[in-house]
Amino acid sequence: MMDKLKVQEIKNIIDKLEEKEYLKYIDMMSKDNRESVKKLALGLSKKLDKSRIETERLIKLFEIEEHFIEKGNTLIGGIDEAGRGPLAGPVVAACVVLEKNPMIKKINDSKKISEKVREELFEEIKNNSISYGIGIADNNEIDSLNIYGATMLAMRRAIEMCDIKPDFILIDGNQAIKEISLPQKTVIQGDARCSSIACASILAKVTRDSLMKEYAKIYKVYGFEKHKGYGTLEHVDAIRKFGVTPIHRMSFLGKILEQN
């Protein structure tokens, strides 16, 4: 069959294959006398290996959830935040309750994947979750409560925003959420070790970045679309030159303002 097809025709076929068909076509192409077709077989074989490695990673990434599912918890919510460190803008938290290991390829700690991949995963995560919620604490709340208190507030709001509430939560880091009755477990480096927390980190990061891009349209000289409010040299120079905006965290700016 394959020997009657042109190389480009074969390439068009394998580009549309489902993974379950890879082995069949790898076998057929490997027997073809044409070196160009053998190279296509090799490429498809590498693609299959890469996919299998990703599948194994995703299975391992769900082990923590699996452990608590076996203990009788059915709705496990992963929680993470974005924006503790910036000089401007809100802190954003997300809570994601996943289906039983939905195997969403490429999910990882949001800091380890590109902005393009995060944005692609944003909708996929929402579409593959049982429920999700996003909570925001603005710069005024950060100044009033301090960043720790505001982060806890954003996390509680994220849980409240879930249409279907979790019955157990996993939190990135080592700080439990205060003032909630839900059973919870902190997970050090959870955004790299736990599927639901990784998903939450992506929702939180994409949401916050989108907000900062909108602020960049209002406060045009600060470069929020680039540094997202973090204390880069460009940002600090803009504060010294143009002053503060209504979204700056005054409690973070003491030393910078003293140097003016």
- Give one DSSP letter per residue of 163-179, joined into a string: SS--SEEEEESS-PPTT
Residue 238 Ramachandran class (φ > 0 left, ψ -120 to 50 alpha, else beta): alpha
Q: Same structural domain for residues 19 and 129?
A: no
Quote the domain boundaries for residue 158: 63-207
Tell me whether residue 80 is annotated as binding: yes
pLDDT digits (tens, 9 = 90+) for 92-119: 999 999 988 889 999 999 989 999 999 9
Q: How far is CA 35 from CA 9, 38, 39, 251, in A?
A: 15, 5, 6, 66
pLDDT digits (tens, 9 = 90+) for 200-250: 999 999 999 999 999 999 999 999 999 999 999 999 999 999 999 999 999
Confidence of residue 20 (pLDDT cuts 50, 70, 90): confident
Looking at residue 60, what is its pLDDT? 95
The total number of residues written for the chain in this structure: 260
Q: Same structural domain for residues 193 and 221?
A: no
Q: Same structural domain for residues 90 and 201?
A: yes
Q: Same structural domain for residues 70 and 108?
A: yes
Looking at residue 64, what is its pLDDT? 96
Confidence of residue 257 (pLDDT cuts 50, 70, 90): confident
Looking at residue 9, what is its pLDDT? 85
d(CA 260, CA 251): 16
Q: Same structural domain for residues 68 and 140?
A: yes
The pLDDT of residue 260 is above 60 = no
The secondary structure of 71-87 as a DSSP string is TT---EEEEEEE-SS-S
Q: Same structural domain for residues 183 and 55?
A: no
- Look at 2 and 5; give whichever has higher pLDDT: 5
Q: Same structural domain for residues 220 and 201?
A: no
Return the number of other C-beta atoms located less than 10 Å from residue 15's C-beta. 9
Confidence of residue 1 (pLDDT cuts 50, 70, 90): low
Q: Among 167, 192, 207, which residue terminates a domain?
A: 207
Instruction: Encode burial over 138-170: b for 16+ CB neighbours within 10 A, e otherwise.
Output: bbebbbeeebeebbbbbbbbbbebbeebbebbb
Cβ–Cβ < 8 Å for 182, 166: yes
Q: How far is CA 101 from CA 10, 65, 77, 202, in A?
A: 34, 9, 13, 17
Determine how β-strand 129-137 pairs with β-strand 91-98. antiparallel
Query: Which residue carries 């890879």 as its tokens?
Result: 22
Q: Same structural domain for residues 245 and 144?
A: no
The residue among 131, 104, 130 whose CA lies nearest residue 117 is 104
Backbone angles phi, psi at 108, to 5 degrees: -170, 180
Return the number of other C-beta atoms located less than 10 Å from residue 51's C-beta. 13
Looking at residue 168, what is its pLDDT? 97
Looking at residue 206, what is its pLDDT? 98
Within a 13 Å sphere around the CA of 164, how many CA atoms are in the beta-carbon half? 11
Tell me whether residue 138 is annotated as binding: no
The pLDDT of residue 256 is above 80 = no
Q: Same structural domain for residues 177 and 165?
A: yes
The pLDDT of residue 255 is above 80 = no
